[in-house]
Amino acid sequence: MKHFLQPDDYRQDFSAYTAEDLRSRGIRFLMCDIDNTLVTYDDPEPTPRLLAWFKELQEAGITVGFMSNNDEARVSRFNRELGFTAFPDAHKPLTKTMKRFLKESGLRREEVAHLGDQIFTDVCMARACGVTSLLVPPIKDVLTPFFRFKRMLEKPLVAYYVAHRRSN
Ligand SMILES: [Mg+2]
């Protein structure tokens, strides 16, 4: 049985989630965390590799959006050229932003996935909302004591998940 800290899938990089994979899960909208999921905190704009992945998803009919706990300035700069649906200051793991999106978009929760790098914010929020939760390892850990502490707590959970993923 899945619990609130367990993602539906865990892969080493965002690009490992292909358009075909997402389509086969019935996903029509992929909501992405930005920091440490798609780029590092130091990248103000999407990388060429990331743009190529977005294009692949869009060509397969999957819409991409951003849901970030970072502020408006960071998210709008990152999204400037793309103009995707974007929610800064999302306050994950609180569910209000995703629930608002589901209501406003008219999408069913089965049609929406959320991709992120943190169990206690990204996975927790997605599971609580009933959307598909996709996890990647953080691109670059932020070396503050608080983040290191959270990563330390996450490690055994990810290890447990990877060890048991086949038996789900
Ligand atoms: Mg993140």
Report residue 88's pLDDT band, with 50, 70 and 90 as the boundaries: very high
CA 35–ligand 1 middle distance (angstroms): 4
Q: Contact at 8 Å (CB) between 104 and 65?
A: no
User: pTM for this structure?
Assistant: 0.86
Domain that holds residue 160: 9-167
Q: Is residue 127 part of a domain?
A: yes
Q: Is there a domain that residue 95 lies in?
A: yes
Examine residue 1 and state whether it is found in any structural domain, yes or no. Answer: no
Q: Which of 3, 28, 9 is nearest to 111 (CA)?
A: 28
Yes or no: say if 129 and 102 are a contact pair by the CB < 8 Å rule: yes
CATH number at residue 86: 3.40.50.1000
Q: What percent of the chain has pLDDT over 90?
A: 76
- Catalogue the E-assigned strands of the chain: 9-10, 29-32, 63-67, 85-87, 112-116, 132-135
pLDDT in the model for residue 162: 77
* Gyration radius from the chain CA atoms: 15
Within a domain: 123 = yes
Domain assignment present for residue 151? The answer is yes
CA of 142 to the centre of ligand 1 (A): 10
Burial (CB count within 10 angstroms: exposed 0-12, middle 13-18, buried 19+), residue 103: exposed
Q: Separation of 106 CA from ligand 1 center, angstroms?
A: 26
Distance (angstroms) between ligand 1 centre and the Cα of 140 equals 10
Distance of CA 10 to the CA centre of its chain: 11
pLDDT above 70 covers a percentage of the chain that reads 93
Q: Is position 66 within any domain? A: yes
Q: How far does residue 70's CA lie from ligand 1's centre (Å)?
A: 9
pLDDT digits (tens, 9 = 90+) for 115-156: 999 999 999 999 999 999 999 999 876 556 676 777 778 888
Lowest mean pLDDT among 6-10, 68-72, 164-168: 164-168
Q: What pLDDT was estimated at residue 168?
A: 47
Return residues with CB closer than 5 A to ligand 1 (ion): 33, 35-37, 117
Q: How many domains does the chain have?
A: 1
pLDDT for 112 beyond 70: yes
